[in-house]
Each structure stands twice: as C-alpha cells, then as structure tokens.
Amino acid sequence: MRNPRKSRKTREQVLQELRNAYEGGASIRNLVASTGRSYGTIHSMLRESGTTMRSRGGPNHTSRHC
C-alpha cells in the first residue's frame, strides 16, 4: 500500500501544476484526461489559482463566418 503522506501533493502544488500546464497550451479537457478530475473541478481550480482563462475554442478556434 502506498504511503499517502509521501506521494500526496499539496493543493497549492496541484494548482500551480494545472496553471503551468494550461498556460503552456494544455486544454481543460487535456487536464481532465491526465488528472481524472471533472471539467468543472479543473476549471474551478484554474480560476482559484489566478489563471487567465482563454476564450472558448482555444488557440485553434476559427470563426465560422465566411
């Protein structure tokens, strides 16, 4: 059995890691897949960490106007 104290990260460490990944280009859905947490949890944690959120659609989003 794992020792939870040894491998457990503090909330602050998790928030910083999520923020760094998101600001490095990861999408919320990528973070959901890599952490096993829900979309809403990841979004809330990013906001809590002070992350500037990207607009919907991310960097590859293009307008649908012709």
Check residue 57 and give its pLDDT.
74
**What is each CA distance from 61 to 10, 39, 41, 52, 57, in whole angstroms?**
34, 19, 23, 17, 5
3-state class (DSSP) for residue 29:
helix
CA-to-CA dists, residue 49 to 14, 16, 41, angstroms? 10, 7, 12
pLDDT 10s digits, 5-39 = 556 889 999 999 999 999 999 999 999 999 999 99
Q: Tokens in use for 36?
A: 């096993």
Angle at which helices 28-35 and 39-48 cross, to 10°: 110
Euclidean distance between CA atoms 30 and 49, whole angstroms: 18
Confidence label for 52 from pLDDT (cuts 50, 70 and 90): very high
Is the model more confident about 2 or about 44? 44
- Looking at residue 28, what is its pLDDT? 96
